[in-house]
Amino acid sequence: MPLELWAGPECTLNRVGDRFNDQLPASGFETRLDDLDRLAGLGITRMRFPMVWERTEQERGSYRWEWSDERIARLRELNVAPIAGLVHHGSGPAWTSLLDPQFPELLAQYAARVAERYPHIDAYTPVNEPLTTARFSGLYGHWYPHHCDDVSFVRALLVQMRATVLAMRAVRKVNPAAMLVQTEDLGHATSSPRLQYQANFENLRRWLSFDLLAGRVDPEHGLWKYLRRSGASEEQLEFFRQEPCPPDIIGINSYLTSERHLDDRIEFYPAQAVGGNGRQRYADVETVRVGGSIIGSFRERLRETGERYGLPMAITEAHLGCTREEQLRWLRQAWDAAHAVRAEGHDVRAVTCWAAFGSFDWNSLVTRNEGHYEPGLWDVRSTPPRPTALATLARQLGHGETPDHPVLQGPGWWQRAERLIFPPHGPIESMPVQGRPLLVTGATGTLGKAFARLCEVRGLPCVLLRRQDMDVADPASVDAALARWQPWAVINTAGYVRVDDAENDPRNWRENVNGPVTLAKACARHGVRLVNFSSDLVFDGHGERPYVESDAAHPLNAYGRSKREAETQILACAPDALTIRTAAFFGPWDHHNFITLALEALRRGQPWEAAHDQWVSPTYVPHLVQATLDLLIDGESGIWHLANQGAASWADFACMAAEGAGLPTGLVRGVPGASLDQTAPRPRYSVLGSERGLVMPTLEEAMACYLVDVGPAEGSAEPAADVAPSRETLETA
């Protein structure tokens, strides 16, 4: 039986205080029935389906089945079997909680109603990750009821586990063959020698949900005394021995942030990483950030689970909140790990593409509603959702094809030396960056240097080219460079950038039209992807709303005309090329951009003149580079607008930066653009929007990033506080 591909949308419905946070409307999955067709198109055999209690029984005793009726019927038509999830990091409707002794019976009643309405459903996850939810709700205080003690943790865990047993009992009265697919996050702890006892405790505790269901928790169990000391009665524990309900499939979820390292050498760590157990103070950080050896994650978790229980297993969540190539590498490694452990003789059934439509606010463990979005197999910032490279990879896996994306040849950041940010434990292991490179032209320019810098961070092989390495306007030079480096894509950042001089300088046409078109023709012949950059200056500025990709271009100046001509010719000769229109660069690595120069002048007490009648979309260079790389990896083509969301006159933009840096805005003098010796005519309003997808952060977010990245000497008075790492959100080193 081949390894199956499963999938599911992020469907957390948790409670913080009196606020219920629901991922399904946030991602739009709630309203898009055709998302099921998208999932089925991957070749999945099962879907983790959100039959979430809090959504269905919003009023006690009244069930809203219309939503699930329509979708369950569609899944039957698509021949995709659902795994019904009833509680997903939640605590039930408002009239109950994880500490309510009636919670198990209440959930069982709901499970019975589900089974009666959908008797053909043959797989259930009554409570997703009960141990994790008990920790976050009863031990760490993140989620309702926000307790922070062992008694509440144990009580919340036992309530959820009893609810699981009773729910499956109720379901099996209707469908005796119904399977329990029990999920859990099996994070593993390592430690410094003096904290080995704590690591041992946590490594045993992570099995508790499965041990309870399997009837293994007896007086000889290593946590029996802890459970009794934390309020569990013998009767409560004996229930699980008398009514074992072992999973039919153990669902393993594994996240890099769940692999923890405990260290008593607290002087090596930031204050926010330091806590304790009441007996000893220690730092608690991700193992990947401190471990000299490369962590194994899925392979090790599958292997040890198979050895412990001997039951069928599946990876029930494979998700990484990171850049696109790292998401691809994570999913591919999960798939390979499942195959490797199967080859060892363990029964691994499936790998689940999780967060198929992305997830929201896991950077704060879903404790704040800030709209922080991590794309998944589809990016819902486009309408309809735009398939990412992850969808292509998943489809290849689901149809038994060999994945072929060139970025898969490289190691993930968790396998490279730059993963380490604390003193490492043990000899440092790392894997070299490898694979076909990207060629980036414009070695001396702001954008070219930024691409080289961020490609290195992202583990993308990159060759930064000067004109003598490849003259983009010389066909022979281009062909020679492509033959020499064998790239999978070329990012052309070279070009003539002096807008006013372009009015009378013939080099503008050579560099901005002849060069990119020559490069596009060569890339098309060699089967190499191309990214080229255009400008907001292709528009005349007569509009009253942000320009989108399909709006007619009417340039006012020679620079804009050259950019528009390049767009047209590239589209004709290389339809799969990606053209990025952008505007008004600012960034932390170029000291000659508008904002950096403005802040320098204001610090010296000098006035700064800027146009108050020309409105633009300022673009933070790191955001532009990251978004461009993601779109390139996704295989996007045609024209895309990439600028930070928002608009400002040049004068307003300078004031925004001054205010953020704690400098007087009164020195910013708004003047007519015509008074600034601008030879080339400028559009009054060249703000960029997008009809293809709003993938760039807001201008306010961009400015905040800039002021942090340039540091307190050049930016804000104080650097922003570090954000504690979350369970599901990972950033490159």
Q: Between the CA of residue 140 and those of 16, 375, 437, what are the distances in Å?
A: 13, 27, 44
Q: How many helices (H) and strands (E) does the chain have?
A: 23, 30
Q: What is the separation of C-alpha 604 from the centre of its chain, rounded to a whole number of angstroms?
A: 41
Of 269, 282, 373, 559, which is the active-site residue?
559
Q: What is the pairing mode between strands 359-360 and 615-616?
A: unpaired
559 belongs to the catalytic site = yes
Non-local (6+) Cβ contacts of 501 within 8 A are 508, 679
Is residue 550 within 8 A of residue 641, CB to CB? The reply is no
Nearest to 191 by CA among 287, 315, 294: 287
SS3 per-residue string spanning 673-711: HHHHCCCCCCCCECCECCCCCCCCCEHHHHHHHHHHHCC
| Phi (first) and psi of residue 59, to 5 degrees | -115, 135
CA angle at 553 for the pair 552 and 554, rounded to the nearest 5°? 120
Cβ atoms within 10 Å of 222's Cβ, excluding its own: 13
User: Computed from CA positions of residues 696, 699, 700, 704, in that sequence, does the dihedral angle turn out positive or negative?
Assistant: positive
**Could you tell me where the beta strands, DSSP code E, fall in 319-453?**
348-353, 359-360, 373-374, 378-379, 386-387, 438-441
SS3 per-residue string spanning 601-622: HHHCCCCEEEECCCEECCEEHH
Residues 317 and 258: their CA atoms lie apart, in Å, by: 13
Residues 160 and 126: their CA atoms lie apart, in Å, by: 9
| Phi (first) and psi of residue 497, to 5 degrees | -115, -5
Q: Between the CA of residue 258 and those of 272, 297, 660, what are the distances in Å?
A: 17, 10, 35
The two tokens of residue 161 are 């586990």
**Could you tell me where the beta strands, DSSP code E, fall in 339-443?**
348-353, 359-360, 373-374, 378-379, 386-387, 438-441
Q: 3-state DSSP call for residue 182?
A: strand
Non-local (6+) Cβ contacts of 711 within 8 A are 719
Is residue 633 within 8 A of residue 569, CB to CB? The reply is no
Q: Between the CA of residue 498 and those of 142, 392, 649, 650, what are the distances in Å?
A: 53, 40, 20, 18
Q: Which residue has 């369950």 as its token pair?
A: 72
Residues 321 and 198: their CA atoms lie apart, in Å, by: 29
Is residue 61 within 8 A of residue 392, CB to CB? The reply is no
* b (16+ CB within 10 A) / e for 295-317: bebbbbbbbebbeebebbbbbbb
Residues 374 and 316: their CA atoms lie apart, in Å, by: 18
Q: Which amino acid is at 651?
A: A
Residues 732 and 728: their CA atoms lie apart, in Å, by: 13
φ/ψ bin of 8: left (φ > 0), alpha (ψ from -120 to 50), beta (otherwise) = beta
Q: Which amino acid is at 96?
A: T
**Could you tell me where the beta strands, DSSP code E, fall in 519-645?**
529-535, 578-582, 585-586, 608-611, 615-616, 619-620, 638-641
Alpha helices in 458-550 (DSSP H): 475-485, 507-509, 515-526
Catalytic residues: 559
